[in-house]
Structure 1
Amino acid sequence: MVRDTNMRILLTGANGFVGPYVAAALRRICGDDVAVVATSKDGGPHPAFGQVEELDVTDAAAVQGAVAHHRPTHVIHLAAVAAPDAAQADPRNTWRIHVDGALSLANAILDKAPDCWLVHVGSGLVYGESAKTGQPLDESTLLAPIDDYAATKAAADLALGALSRRGLKCLRMRPFNHTGPGQTEAFAVPAFAMQIARIEAGLAPPVIRVGNLDARRDFLDVRDIANAYARAVSNSRDLTPNTIFNVASGVSWRMGDILDLLLAQSSAKIVTEQDPLRLRPSDLPCIVGEATRARTLLGWVPEHPFEDTLVAVLEDCRARVARAQVG
């Protein structure tokens, strides 16, 4: 693979969980001289980027201005309502950010930088009801979203596919579950780990409140997800516009087994208790992805054992609890 030394990457949603991991992956895979322009709705100083430029992706004029000014070779679009529960709490805002934001970027690229590639970060949850077959989901699987988060991700994904017919050079990424240090408690793995860390610190009784522990999900380390996005950028010149990529491990993890692995790292005696508020009636029994296309066309493979990821998440949560106590 020949590295392009003139890559200029506009990264939206850089203040989120995945942003710093993507920046690190870009430098590792595309070279240290890759230029990364980090943007987010709330700009300002950032430990990983130095400075994040303010950019609201739903402000079409601002997006046009940013694309015209920076003339990126690639845009990696991470900006989103990250957690499905938050998306469900304010559906109108979710539709605005996921669909209007994606279309603002796409139209700005077509108008101001037509040679630029858009790497759109969607979601494996777009397959929804199709997961009830229990079979691994590939990119040809019917989209059948079951909530506002997945429906808006699917709508943006399909809209960008249509814009490819007008010349948009888009790669449509569909990542499945991922976690790692720095993720918020709005997600299951750090929610488990933070409860353990608080119990160990004597800040909470030795009871973990849980939802459906029998649900099975396809999980990856966030670094593997970031590597897939960086490889999409580095391989873009050899790819067909409008290619869809699942980013998945192909392995389904039972949520109860994930919790057991986290509990095994603790010497505290902890019991679990089901919390009706954490039970989602729409929970699909098993979601697992099939990512042969990413392996074949991007040369991507997951590199980080998920057991090691769980160790890192719990250590991060312990450090966060300790810092909060000192603060």
Structure 2
Amino acid sequence: MVSFVTGVTGQDGSYLAEQLLAEGVEVHGLVHSAAAAEADEHVPSADVIVHEGDLADPARMRELMLQIQPDTVYNLAGISSVAFSWREPGLTARLSGVAALELMESALDVQTRTGQEVRFVQAASAEIFGQAEVSPQDELTPLRPVSPYGTAKAMAHLAAHVYRQRGLHAVSCILYNHESPRRPPRFVTRKITRAVALISQGHQDLLELGNLDARRDWGWAPDYVDAMVRAARHDEPLDYVVATGVAHSVRDFVRAAFSRVGIEDWRDLVSVDPDLVRPADAAEQCGDASRARTVLGWEPTVSFEDLVGRMVEVDLEEPGMPRQRSGGAT
């Protein structure tokens, strides 16, 4: 078995590579050309075969696909930040939307030329639903994105339908928010847990955030990676919502993080910065993963509180962070 993973240096890509390698799969990973010099620091294992390339270069992507001839393609790459998509809407559309369509075309080309089936997994996002009129959302919920990020992801999601009709085993996994200690600090969840760790040790005074009322369905990243692998291997190509089915607010996330370090009265330690509030934000995202549970036998394994706690614990152990914890952390 041979798998090609775009975005292999990201949170999901690193967990996916580890799972596939443990199963004996040959893993090829895409690393952006500009970051190739740093690839050894981010690729999860020396056993990953790294290829330089740029999603914005369809000819190079086609060349790579024909060279690797993968059984399965996991497209995890693209713009990963909703906030960034507002600053660079065109780039977001190119890398998270058009590039996915071009990768599917390349996968179909490999399948046609070699005669071997190529399975394609597109990492979609709950942002495609935007201001959904129903909650929780499932695979039949209408797409109503409210950001350039959501719009680009919606294009890639719909492209999976198109290429499925052309004979490609294309799957779109609609991933709700999923976190781990591998999240970069620019993401609000990791920003929260790092700040809480620093505040608990007296190294930071205040945590500044945007909309505390935004509600998201947060899960454990390795669980969501496992769902994508299961979806790829299922006989019938389908779309799957991957979610816990329980929504929490950013305020809940903050509360859980402070609780992990024994700080219950945290309100004076958090301030709202209007500049951090997005131009448009989906009010609540909560997914119905009934199809994934029934068809794939998939279940989330980590609770919300444990997820937050694991992230805080790792941040408390960061180099330079004092090991003695204040406030009776549990």
Q: TM-score, normalised by structure 1?
A: 0.88
- In structure 1, stretches of 5+ residues that fail to align are 1-6
Q: Is the 8 A contact 1:220 1:306 kept in 2?
A: yes
Equivalent residue of 1:36, what SS?
A: strand
Alignment length (residue pairs): 308
User: Which amino acid in the other structure matches residue 245 of structure 2?
Assistant: G
Q: Is the 8 A contact 1:218 1:249 kept in 2?
A: yes
Equivalent residue of 2:79, what SS?
A: coil
Higher mean C-alpha displacement, 284-293 vs 265-274: 265-274
How far 1:69 sits from its partner (Å)?
A: 1.0
Equivalent residue of 2:217, what SS?
A: strand
Q: How does 1:36-51 map to 2 (within 5 A)?
A: 36-41=27-32, 42-43=35-36, 44-45=39-40, 46=42, 48-50=44-46
State the partner residue of 2:184: 184
How far 1:267 sits from its partner (Å)?
A: 4.6
Equivalent residue of 2:260, what SS?
A: coil
Q: Is the 8 A contact 2:146 2:282 kept in 1?
A: no
How far 1:234 sits from its partner (Å)?
A: 3.0
State the partner residue of 1:231: 230
Q: Is the 8 A contact 2:160 2:171 kept in 1?
A: no
State the partner residue of 2:53: 55
Q: Is the 8 A contact 1:210 1:273 kept in 2?
A: yes
Q: Is the 8 A contact 1:38 1:49 kept in 2?
A: no
Higher mean C-alpha displacement, 259-268 vs 220-229: 259-268
Equivalent residue of 2:10, what SS?
A: coil
After superposition, what is the alpha-carbon deviation per residue over 1:208-260, rounded to whole angstroms, capped at 9, x for unaligned? 2222222221110001111111212332xx11x3x111101110112212111
The percentage of counterpart residues that share the same residue type is: 30
- In structure 2, stretches of 5+ residues that fail to align are 323-330
Q: How does 1:78-227 map to 2 (within 5 A)?
A: 78-114=76-112, 115-130=117-132, 132-133=133-134, 135-205=135-205, 207-227=206-226
How far 1:201 sits from its partner (Å)?
A: 4.1
Pair 1:80–1:323, CA change in 2 (3 A) = farther
Q: Is the 8 A contact 2:185 2:194 kept in 1?
A: yes
Aligned partner (choices 17, 20, 34) of residue 26 of structure 1: 20
Aligned partner (choices 64, 67, 73) of residue 65 of structure 2: 67
Q: Is the 8 A contact 1:40 1:79 kept in 2?
A: no
After superposition, what is the alpha-carbon deviation per residue over 1:257-304, rounded to whole angstroms, capped at 9, x for unaligned? 211111012256752211112223523332101111111121111011
User: Which amino acid in the other structure matches residue 26 of structure 2?
Assistant: A
Q: Matches of 1:49 and 1:194 in 2, distance apart?
A: 26
User: Which amino acid in the other structure matches residue 29 of structure 2?
Assistant: A
Equivalent residue of 2:192, what SS?
A: helix
Q: Matches of 1:137 and 1:39 in 2, distance apart?
A: 32
How far 1:152 sits from its partner (Å)?
A: 0.5
User: Which amino acid in the other structure matches residue 76 of structure 2?
Assistant: L
1:248 maps to 2:243: yes
Q: Is the 8 A contact 2:8 2:43 kept in 1?
A: no
Q: Is the 8 A contact 2:138 2:287 kept in 1?
A: yes
User: Which amino acid in the other structure matches residue 9 of structure 1?
Assistant: S
Q: Is the 8 A contact 1:197 1:318 kept in 2?
A: yes
Q: Is the 8 A contact 1:9 1:76 kept in 2?
A: yes
Q: Is the 8 A contact 1:214 1:255 kept in 2?
A: yes
Pair 1:319–1:53, CA change in 2 (3 A) = farther
After superposition, what is the alpha-carbon deviation per residue over 1:72-123, rounded to whole angstroms, capped at 9, x for unaligned? 0000000111111112211111111012211221111111234201101010
Q: Is the 8 A contact 1:210 1:275 kept in 2?
A: yes
CA RMSD of aligned residues (A): 2.0
